[in-house]
A and B are shown apart, each in its own frame.
Chain A
Amino acid sequence: MTRSPLRILFSTGSWAVLAFLVLPILIVIPVSLTDTSFIGLPREHLSLQHFETFLESPKWLHATWTSIWIGAVVAVAATTLGTAFSIGCWFLSDRAAMIARWVMIVPILVPPVVQSLGFYKFWVTLGLIDSHTGVILAHTLLGLPYVTISVFAALANLDRRLPQAARNLGASLGMTIRTVIVPAIRPGMITGGVFAFIVSFDEIVGVLFLTVRRVETLPKMIWEGIQESVDPVIAAVATILVFITLLITLFGMLRSK
Chain B
Amino acid sequence: MDTTDHAFKSDLAEIAAEKYKAGTLSRRGFLSALGALGLVPFLGDRAVAAPTELVVCNWGGQASDILRDLLGKAYEEETGVPVRVDGAGPSPGKVRAMVESGAVVWDLCDSGAGSAIVMNGAGVIQDIDYSIVDRAKVLPGTDLPFGVGNYVFSYALAYNPTMLPDGVPETWADVWNVKDFPGMRTFRKSVRGQLEGAALAMGVAKDEVYQFLDDEGIKAAIAKFRELRDNIIVWGSGSESQNLFLQGEVAMGNIYSTRGYLLKDQMEPGSFRMTYAGGVLQPGIWVVPKNNPAGPEAAMRFIATAQDPDLQVEWFKAIGNGPINPAAAARVPAELAAWNPTSAENVAKQVIYSDEWYGRNQVSAEELYIDALIG
Contact = CB atoms under 8 A, between A and B. Distances in A.
A53 to B, nearest CB: 16
A125 to B, nearest CB: 9
Contact of A213 (B88, B236, B237): B88
A228 interface: yes
Interface stretch (B92-100, B200-208, B335-343): B92-100
17 contacts: A124-B101, A127-B102, A129-B97, A129-B98, A129-B101, A130-B103, A131-B101, A131-B103, A209-B97, A210-B97, A212-B88, A212-B97, A212-B105, A214-B103, A224-B88, A228-B87, A228-B239
Interface string A112-147: 000000001000100101110000000000000000
A230 B243 contact: yes
Given A130-B101, A212-B94, 11 more contacts: A120-B97, A127-B102, A129-B98, A129-B101, A210-B97, A212-B101, A213-B86, A213-B98, A227-B236, A227-B237, A229-B61
Contact residues of A: prevailing secondary structure: loop
A57 to B, nearest CB: 14
Given A130-B97, A213-B86, A213-B98, A227 B105 contact: no
A124 B243 contact: no
Given A212-B105, A213-B86, A214-B105, A228 B97 contact: no
B220 to A, nearest CB: 33
Interface in A127-177: 127, 129-131
A228 B237 CA distance: 8
B247 A129 contact: no
Contacts of B106: 213
B104 to A, nearest CB: 9
B92 to A, nearest CB: 12
Query: In the complex, which of the residues A127, A130, A228 has the most CB atoms of chain B within 10 Å of its own CB atom?
Result: A228
B239 A229 contact: yes
B82 interface: no
Contacts of A210: 97
A213 B88 CA distance: 8
A129 B97 CA distance: 7
Nearest to B57: A213
A178 to B, nearest CB: 30
Nearest to B86: A213
A239 to B, nearest CB: 21
Contacts of A213: 86, 88, 98, 105-106
B230 interface: no
Interface residues of B, number: 22
Nearest to B87: A228
B161 interface: no
Contacts, number: 49
Interface of A: 38, 120, 124, 127, 129-131, 209-210, 212-214, 224, 227-230
A91 B98 CA distance: 45
Contacts of B88: 212-213, 224
A212 B91 CA distance: 11
Nearest to A120: B97
Q: Identify the 3 closest CB pairs spanning chains A and B, nearest first.
A: A129-B101, A130-B101, A213-B105
A210 B97 CA distance: 8
A124 B93 CA distance: 13
Contact of A130 (B98, B236, B242, B247): B98
A85 B246 CA distance: 53
Contacts of B86: 213
Contacts of A209: 97
A228 B60 contact: yes
B367 interface: no
Contacts of B97: 120, 129-130, 209-210, 212
Contacts of A131: 101, 103
B6 to A, nearest CB: 15
A230 B94 CA distance: 22
Query: In the complex, which of the residues A131, A212, A214, A229 has the most CB atoms of chain B within 10 Å of its own CB atom?
Result: A212
B214 interface: no
Contacts of A212: 88, 94, 97-98, 101, 105
Interface in B83-127: 86-88, 94, 97-98, 100-103, 105-106
Nearest to A211: B97
Contacts of B101: 124, 127, 129-131, 212
